[in-house]
Structure 1
Amino acid sequence: MTRIEKINNKLNELGADCFISFDKSDVLYFTGVDGDGILLIIDKKAFIFANKLSYDYIVNKKPKADVIQITQGIKRLEEFLIENKIHSIALDLKSTSAFSYQTLLKNFEIKDATDVSKQIRMIKEQNEINAIKRAAIVARNAFTKVYPMIKIGVSEKELKDELDYQMARFGAQKTAFETIVASGVNTSFPHHRPTDKKIEDGDFLMIDFGACVDGYNSDCTYTFLVGKRTDEERNFYNAVFYAQTFAREFIAPNRTRAKDIDKRVRDELAKYGLDKYFIHSTGHGVGLDIHELPYIDSTSETLIVPNMVFTIEPGIYIPGKYGVRIEQTILVKENDVEILGYAPFMEII
């Protein structure tokens, strides 16, 4: 079944005449072009509505869609829908501005199609899996070059800049997100932005990074102990390590639900009295977006099935002291899971 056929099945379920998304990743997924535009799918055909700045670029990329130029907001889109006798629209509300929603609501019945395309994208095709694997390998190879730099006296920014450079050198289109390098007390902030702070003896060092290749992303986090360390620090690190490992090994394709993985992590951290310091979800899907379905959290009933790709990333963050996060991206296979791109670097330096 083609991607557009899958959307059409969803349209039939919703009782809608067409599907519209303002999400750039949906444009890429259904048309093969990474460009700014509005995606419209009617029956078996896709259309991209693009403004003057994007029109020529998208046309030259030869998308699997007809490209229509717009000049005044979404007026041309409205006219096109009326010309094609469209009455009801399945609209991805998350990607739609309030203005566009109100404009379309004047002439059409709106069906909430939030996450409909994301549910389709959640199950990866083989070419998507191959792209994510390439991205993971690029990130791993880049980090192999950076790893010897990790030593007392090197700054967070120096490590970040070198890692970003090496990912580009190995073939990344861009970084998957802004690379996180945190040391010492900065590791207690899950999304710290690198500074000129230098690594000190006894610091935890957290590095969260990923590469984007052919539009698809990778995601990985290492935490290192640099120099001298205490028994408490070792125990904290081990707690997160075991929580991550046991959660990954716990997954049974076609039987495990996302919330069960999250619970497995929290139960393990609770054995050490550390579950209260775990302040985010256990993981998220990875693909065209760095955060997408499935979300591995306490409320998700999503059944884990083959060809899903997602992270498992338990972390504990002690305010004013330090944090530890270990993250791997995994591919769900028929009977087990495969870790993508992760290399077993020595965590104690």
Structure 2
Amino acid sequence: MEKRTEKLTKLLDELNLDALFLTDLYNLRYFAGFTGTTGVGLATRKGNFFYSDFRYRSQAEAQVTKMGFEFVEVSRGSLKFVGEHAEKLGLKKIGFEDHNVTFSSYQTLKEVFKAELVPIGDKITYVRMIKSDEEIGFIKKAIEISDVAFSEALKIIKEGVSEKEIAGYMEYIQRKLGAEDRSFETILASGVRSAMPHGVASDKKIQKEEFITMDFGAYYNGYVSDMTRTVYYGNNITEKHKEIYNLVLEAQILGINTIKEGIMSDDVDKVVRNFLTEKGYGKEFGHGLGHGIGLEIHELPYLSSVTHIELKENMVVTSEPGLYFDGWGGVRIEDDVVVKKDGREVLNKSNKELIIIEAK
């Protein structure tokens, strides 16, 4: 694992701070290598410190030391010690992760630190946007696992099987292949429920002549995959089902082909949105085109109107347009894509052409 302490020092210079106080578990994993659930970090020019209690002593010592952090054992919940340590080090301006801190935690920090507290917004997460080759390797492995889970799930789809059963089976296959966990709650929405972009798996049974949308992923070594496929179950597919499916596929490929170094994140979304609007389906595409993935399932940059970030080599983003019709159903297709100097690389290998599973 590469050391990332240089990136922290650079941030201290850029933000004119004496220290960064790290509380977000994803950032602690990224910079300090810590995979537990309790601990905080302090990055300074005089050294980097990670504080946790005796339960994590051996784990944290092994993980953080090789990332350039010193492990400091404190009693559970003892921020007071961190404040005293910061005072001893003479730290006057300390940046904190305001997105990760509740109001009551902030009140505690003000009592604990005898220093000026500076909110740093998204500055730390910006650092995580460009992935190393090692990180991309972990994401690829997570995607390979999800690709297999998808092909295995197709084998158990039949009338009367519940959405939860299919979702559970996919999660089981991912675990069996080495995933630590699912990367988010599996979305499995069939029939009219496929019009719900976030329709998590329910007790609904699969019926003939309906779309089934599967949006799922795996965690591998801390990194996520995120893929969506929509399939048709039945023997009498309508022209409308085919038309909507192929339109979403065309939009999804257009999104992928628009991704390249140098383009702005919101412009990728705009290209696909304009295409679907021209086809008369602008209002049925109600969410952003995609988002960054990495340690988190949703991270910067967002391919949507809300984020204006220039895409750079080795960012990993999704392209996932969808069209949704209340009372009828919907289609979404999603791949994970690495931004390259001269274009992009699609990481998912699963088929995207319309799959029709015949009802026996």
Shorter-chain TM-score: what band? over 0.9
Shifted more, 152-161 versus 210-219: the winner is 152-161
1:312 pairs, out of 295, 308, 319, with 319
Give SS of 1:329's match: strand
TM-score (norm 1): 0.94
Mapped pair 1:21 → 2:22? yes
Pairwise CA distance, 1:2: 5.2
User: RMSD of aligned C-alpha atoms?
Assistant: 1.8
Mapped pair 1:250 → 2:258? yes
TM-score (norm 2): 0.91
Shifted more, 132-141 versus 98-107: the winner is 98-107
Structure 2: unaligned runs, 5 residues or longer: none
Q: Distance in 2 between matches of 1:90 and 1:318?
A: 46
AA in 2 matched with 1:236: I
Mapped pair 1:83 → 2:88? yes
- Name the structure 2 match of 1:92: 97
Pairwise CA distance, 1:212: 0.7
- Name the structure 2 match of 1:5: 6
**Match runs of 1:159-308 below 5 Å:** 159-227=166-234, 228-254=236-262, 256-308=263-315
Q: Distance in 2 between matches of 1:24 and 1:62?
A: 13
Pairwise CA distance, 1:109: 1.1
Pairwise CA distance, 1:73: 4.0
AA in 2 matched with 1:195: S
| Contact kept in structure 1, 2:50 and 2:64, CA below 8 Å | no
Pairwise CA distance, 1:90: 1.3
Give SS of 1:47's match: strand
Pairwise CA distance, 1:41: 0.6
Q: Distance in 2 between matches of 1:325 and 1:109?
A: 47
- Name the structure 1 match of 2:143: 136
- Name the structure 2 match of 1:40: 42
Give SS of 1:253's match: coil
Aligned residues: 348
Structure 1: unaligned runs, 5 residues or longer: none
Q: Distance in 1 between matches of 2:194 and 2:57?
A: 44
Give SS of 2:356's match: coil
Pairwise CA distance, 1:155: 1.6
Pairwise CA distance, 1:61: 4.0
Give a deviation string over 1:155-208, Cα, whole Å, max 9, x none: 211111110110011111111111111101111111112122111111110001
2:73 pairs, out of 69, 73, 84, with 69
Q: Distance in 1 between matches of 2:253 and 2:46?
A: 44
Q: Distance in 2 between matches of 1:264 and 1:53?
A: 51
| Contact kept in structure 2, 1:4 and 1:44, CA below 8 Å | no
Q: Distance in 2 between matches of 1:51 and 1:14?
A: 30
Give a deviation string over 1:258-286, Cα, whole Å, max 9, x none: 01111011111112221112222111111
Mapped pair 1:145 → 2:146? no
Percent identity between the two aligned chains: 35
